[in-house]
Structure 1
């Protein structure tokens, strides 16, 4: 399996605290059958002072550390890009960190209020050859209330990544229901750990994969953690999601 979203680089954001925790996270991932991880620290998030140069520098040090420790896990560069008003301009200036320096990138939307020009920003990025992977929409309040926001982004060519812990219910019933319904509706391209530590948010994929297999079968579930990540690495094309109907729950409870 390949994990495309993991905050495994030490000391950059709210992920691994130090190199020792990074090594422990890698070993946990290997034990579940993960063979490669995209290191994706937050970028363009005002809480963290990360930039392209710092991320790539820490990435190289971390990859060298894994080699020195004899850990047989492949590490690829990336970032968890936050949607900012001038994101297309920052890409044009070479400030972004895409997945393995290719055309795919993780895009985290604001969790409470979405910009009115959301679709315009995403369309600009796609028009310039970048393919956004919308991260954990099942944990995004506006999308939970109005799934058509996500479906319109998918129709425009964006892709979708849900979090493993959402699928298994560890982020609550609403995220669990939404992520599973989205899998069954055909709107999911990736399941990733979005791991931040060796504790509660650890790099576990296997339990979520088993749930997905029960929902849509082994072949389709494999695409989320093997086939599609391999296409990302190869710079190939992933088939767009076509979601004709998405069920709605009668009521959501938010705390």
Structure 2
């Protein structure tokens, strides 16, 4: 889980070269999740963390059984450093499944939430699906990530997820979280 910025940038550069060499017409932007484990670990590794497209946005994740206090501490620590926390897949954390008000606290403090595209499709079970529906109903989701780890079981299927969100929560909101907010983030603007 410890991947310093120089290593991520080096691997990303190599991957971009491969994609360019084989002629795949895609724009790629540097970024990865930072696994927040403790305040001490965060402080020790802060200078090595990779932000999203070298902006102030920091995509962070936790273990699924993380406690509420750790989530809120993490968000505050990132804000205190002058960065903007983007919490990846909050619907998959037990603490938020039990107490969705944690998501409200994150957003009210200045953080953002990124759902996994598969959550609304039921890929992670009914509890995760119900939790993400609640977050979407309350307009607490700001971004959607593919969580595409491979082409077999964790492929993107972004369009299917987009259709679900558009149908249930409106076209404007779907456009915002699937497209517009991401563009703003990549340019370092305020979402």
Give the alignment's TM-score, normalised by structure 2: 0.92
Aligned counterpart, 1:90: 45
DSSP 3-state at the match of 1:76:
coil
Please state how far the C-alpha of 1:81 moved relative to its aligned partner: 0.4
Aligned equivalent of 1:220:
173
User: Mean alpha-carbon deviation: is it higher for 113-122 or for 71-80?
Assistant: 113-122
Partner Cα separation in structure 2 for residue 116 and residue 156 of structure 1: 14
Which residue is 1:71 aligned to?
24
Higher share in helix: 2
Q: What SS does the aligned partner of 2:6 have?
A: helix
- How far apart are the structure 2 equivalents of 1:121 and 1:170? 27
Deviations 1:4-58 (A, max 9, x none): xxxxxxxxxxxxxxxxxxxxxxxxxxxxxxxxxxxxxxxxx2xxx5322221111
Q: Distance in 1 between matches of 2:155 and 2:145?
A: 11
Instruction: Tell me the C-alpha RMSD between the 2 structures.
Output: 1.5
Pick one of 111, 123, 126 that aligns with 2:64. Answer: 111
SS of the aligned residue for 1:167 comes to coil
Q: What is the rounded CA distance, in whole Å, between the counterparts of 1:151 and 1:173 in structure 2?
A: 21
Cα distance, 1:115 vs structure 2:
6.5
Quote the Cα distance in structure 2 between the aligned partners of 1:88 and 1:158: 19
Aligned partner of 2:112 among 159, 162, 167: 159
> Is 2:165 the partner of 1:209?
no
SS in 2 for 1:176: helix
Q: 2:100 aligns with which of 147, 163, 175?
A: 147
3-state SS of the aligned residue for 1:160?
strand
Greater relative contact order (Cα 8 A, min sep 6): structure 1 or 2?
1
- Give TM-score, length-normalised by structure 1: 0.70
Moved over 4 A (4+): none
Q: Which residue of 1 aligns with 2:34?
A: 81
Residue 123 of structure 2 is aligned with which of 166, 170, 177? 170
Give the aligned partner of residue 134 of structure 1: 87
> Counterpart of 1:100?
53
Task: Kindly state the Cα deviation for residue 88 of structure 1 after the two structures are TM-superposed.
Answer: 4.1
Residue 220 of structure 1, CA deviation: 1.3
Count of residue pairs brought into register by the alignment: 189
- Where does structure 2 lack aligned partners over 5 or more consecutive residues? none
Greater shift after overlay, 64-73 or 146-155?
Answer: 146-155
Structure 1: runs of 5 or more not aligned? 1-44, 239-255
